[in-house]
Structure 1
Amino acid sequence: MYQATKTSPGRQRLYIVIVSDVDVLHKFTSKFQHKILAEVVTVCPTTSEEDPLDLTYQNTNTDFNINPCYHNLLEMSAIFAENYKKDESTLSESVVETAKAKFKQHKAIIIKGPRKCGKTTLAALLTSIYQPGEFLIIYKADDTKYISLDKVCLVVVEDFAGKYRYDNVGASDWMRAFDMLHSLVKAGKLNVVLTCKDTFLAECKKDFEDHPIFDNPVQMEESDIRIKQEEDENVTGNLMPFNYNERGWFC
């Protein structure tokens, strides 16, 4: 058998793994020697009744079964939300209070409105009551497989019907996934925030039947970011005018 592990190049090699108790191996090798036993890998240390093996993990913060995609999604969700929460002061207080009240009461809301009205910023603001790792921000219906109900409390579905143009296929996938999400909300297992451009939501309802997960909308308008617009105008107005010399250069 040992010779089969040392075949010449181009020939099939035999791999051998021998499992043995450490004490038994020591007794055997004290009387017999063989090259096949030269390389020993100790998986567990020697134990006794006085010194038993501790099979518990000391690091309780480490999840050895965590999916790397799930881990990355959690981290990206936290970074994404933190980035958008920087603009929360640009939202009107009325729409923020409306969203918080509806979310607290119904546990599932859909934030709708035209592009650039602050839907994502408002959704990010609602994640503030959760710790990183307790919420996911997802875009594709297939990403629902990463929802771990023993860890994740909130799922934010961003632009489920498309971001720049209406996505009929993506919306169709989400309509099937919404059945599951809505059931989890009703069972008290999960909270859900959806964002969608209002015209895309209308097309989605036209192509597919309405869904109860849309029952609690928060309508946003372009005026809901008027604070940011005013600040931009003030910055522009405070800029010192450039003076051009005779060559057309400013100074």
Structure 2
Amino acid sequence: METVVFLPGLLAPPAGFRSLRENLEGLRCIELAPHATPAEGLEAWRGEVPPGAHLVAFAEAAWAGAQLAAQSQAKSLTLLSPVLRVDAALRARLRALEQALGLGPEAFVTAAKPWLFGPVLLEHGHEAMAAWAEGLREGELGRWLAALSGLPDGRRALRGLRCPVLVVIGAEDVFTPSRYAQEAVEWVPEQRAMRVSLEATGHLAPWENPGEALAVLAAFLRDAEGFLQGPPAWHDGLDELPVL
């Protein structure tokens, strides 16, 4: 049985990748613990990722995931809302969040929500966003912000990949817009990467639209090579609000 290893970013909801893990049939799924900084994640996960596994990494965990995929000869790599480098625009957003955190956790949440969530949850998903906020690792947010602000450019690690790569983003992600995902696709050699957008979702796209995220990921893991030639059609849109 093939193995899928999930690498969470610090802002992943408290339920983690449970919805994906429980619904990927015929695959052994492992979710590793999140870490406050990408470097800590890379160091801890290096001994936990088995060779030849499928890797799925969210946000800044993509920085470690790209390196681990090359080192472990991963069978495939999926990057969800990837953060592989920090440009001036993202650094400015991080500074604003750092200032908000200085005023307290509630101020951080208020500042972060319009950048992290898409329009559907912002209008109708107050309970889901409250659940996300309760799961934040408040004591580690400051370290997370500092680490991301000084994150080394991780795109070069993509050059060493020999596996297929899927990049999934929210169509309305304003925290890490589509250019971050497109950069990741372009750095993967031999046109072995594809970008897919989930409609009406923001930075936490896999949790905002879990049904579509599952359909895309399952199709890619089932036949990554075929997927890159042209992904099959799947249902487009939100059937119901998720529980984060």
TM-score by length of 1: 0.29
Structure number with larger C-alpha Rg: 1
TM-score, normalised on structure 2? 0.30
